[in-house]
Every structure is written in C-alpha cells, then in structure tokens.
Structure 1
C-alpha cells in the first residue's frame, strides 16, 4: 500500500497513462496483459437440479482438482479480448503467450505496445528461457513494453477484463481446465462480436491533482 511520496510509482504511472491516451493505430495496437490463478473445484456429490419453486442445491463439500493460470489479453480501444489457459504460470508459459500474441493474434502489427505488471515472469529474459536467442530477440523486437508501477495493478486495463469474465464465468465450481477453456473461449467470442471498447477516463492531468500526495515535493530540494 502506498503511504507517501513515491517518484518511481508516479514515473511508471504517467508512462502508462500516456500510453492510454494514444489514438487508435492498427499498426501499433495497445494490448494489456494480466494473469489470474484459478482453483479447480469439482462437486463431491452431484447437485440437485432446479425444479419449479425450488433452486438448485449444492453440497457444501467439494473436491480440489488443482489449479490453472488464466492469461488475459485485451485491446482496450477495440474491446477485443483473448485468453490462454495453462496448467502453470512459469516463465516458459509467459514466453509462449507472447509468441501467440505476436505471431497469431497480431501478425501484421509493426509493433505491439504491451502494458503489463511487474510479475517475476513478465520479463524479456523469460523468452530466452523458452526460445533460441534469435527467436527470443525477434519476438522482443516486435514489442514496446510498458510496466505498471508496483502497487499499481489498477492501472492495468487487463484487470478489468479479468473482473468481467470472473463475474460471468468463474463464479461457480469448475473442475477441469478444459471446462474453463470452453467457458472463457465462448465468453471472449461473444464479447469480441459486440466490440465493446473500454474507455479509460483517468489521465496524467487527473493524477497530478487527485494523487498529488504521491508526487515528490521538489520545493524541499536543496543544493
């Protein structure tokens, strides 16, 4: 939690906010990336189905089926959203998601402007753990990376996308990765069909007023 002045925070925040006010450019799309761990829970006893005048009934006991990691990618200005569900959240998983983003989702982009947080695997070195050096460098050269500040995950628009599909799809027991993948793939297809853009309202000018307590007081600087 932020409790006082933090020059590193405001520098990273203003960098991300300036990205969000860029006009739409299909050759340099802005993509936000985030990931969410999800625990897989299956029913211990089969639920009793809903009947007239009686809701469905679930037993309080459940079976743990492990977990998965949900990578969420969203292009705010077009509303396009994609997910990749994986068994782990290792560096190689992140690297493979980046390759998917670059080569499959946006193969014609000159450069992809990527906004993400500072998770320990969200670093260029992760690509070198998965791909030969020339391939890792090729992928990285297609990216323009901007990191949200520490304690500033709210600045990542991908979090909004995660909240949306969590409310609609992940608010119940799901026992397998395959079911998670099926649910979220269908959800993204429908959302992409509707083309609901995300209109980010908070700007650098707003931050300098509403979050002014985080900015260093340079009047205290002495020679």
Structure 2
C-alpha cells in the first residue's frame, strides 16, 4: 500500500488535480486529505465535491479549521478569514456543508496518526511549528503511534522527538510533516516531491 497525503488544498482545484495526478503517477493506492479543503481559493464547491467522491472510495478526509469555519461562519466579518468563510459557506450546497461538518479531526492507522493540527488538542488548531509543539503532539497521539502527520503550517518539515519507547521497544519520533515524510523526500528541479523506500507519497503545493 502507498498512501498519498494531501493537505491545505484551500479550494484550489487545479492544484488538487495536479497533486492527485502526481500521486497516481507515483503509485499511490490510498489517499488522505489532512484538512482545509476550503478557504481562500475560488473553487470550494468543486474541491469538496472531489473530496466527497474520494471519501466514497475509502479515502481518509479530515476536518481543518477553514472547513469548520465555512460550515459556521461568524456573523460579522472582522478578518479576511471571516469574509472568506462567509463567501465559501454561500458557495457550498447543503450536502457539502454537512459533509464538512461531520469530518473527523484525527485518524489513526497502525503506528500512524493523521491530524490537521496538533494532536494534543485538534480542535484548538495549534500549529506544529517547533520542537515543543511536535513533542506535545506526539505525547497525545496514543500508545503505538510512531509518526504523526499534520497539515496546517503550509511548510514541509520533520521533527524527531526523543520520546519514550513504545511497548514494542521502538523509539517514537514525531513527524510534523505538512504534505511530506521529509527524511524520505527529495525534490526534483521542477519541485515535484518523491519518496524513497516509503509507503507515503506527497505533492507539495504552494499557496
């Protein structure tokens, strides 16, 4: 099995299509979308429709902060994010808003945990952008979890934590990998990401 991790698509249908095509070309057999399907971009309905289709094919789809905000936008628009959420809400039909509202915040599979923001409090939307936050995220991931993949920060990075060993004796390491398993990642001159000896594949996106 090769799992393609995509995150923070932000209603950019062309980028979504490009990343799905890249993942398929790298032999991906399973897909996980780590949240923020919408927000900022101009094609929220198209992106959510594609995510719904992938979910019907057993893809993992998680909720991000922009997805939650689009479901229930604030009554007043004090920031650009507020205004974007209100506009996005109006572009989505009832079934798409319902889909976003029921998305889980985290998904565990074997020794891997997928989450949009920090695993220590997913609904608080903390950024995993330093070693302290990476350690806090892994410490809350649960016994047996060795890799935590998150989105939210819009940057590829990996954090290794000197955490306690699991019950099997394997040392745990936290990986804050916004779209990448960085130690097994190399970028081609075109910016395409490829993984060596990994069951994960990813396509970097720019926003």
- Calculate the TM-score normalised by the size of structure 1: 0.31
Which structure has the higher relative contact order (CA within 8 Å, separation 6+)?
1
Q: Which one has the largest radius of gyration? A: 1
TM-score (norm 2): 0.33
Instruction: Say which structure is richer in strand.
Output: 1
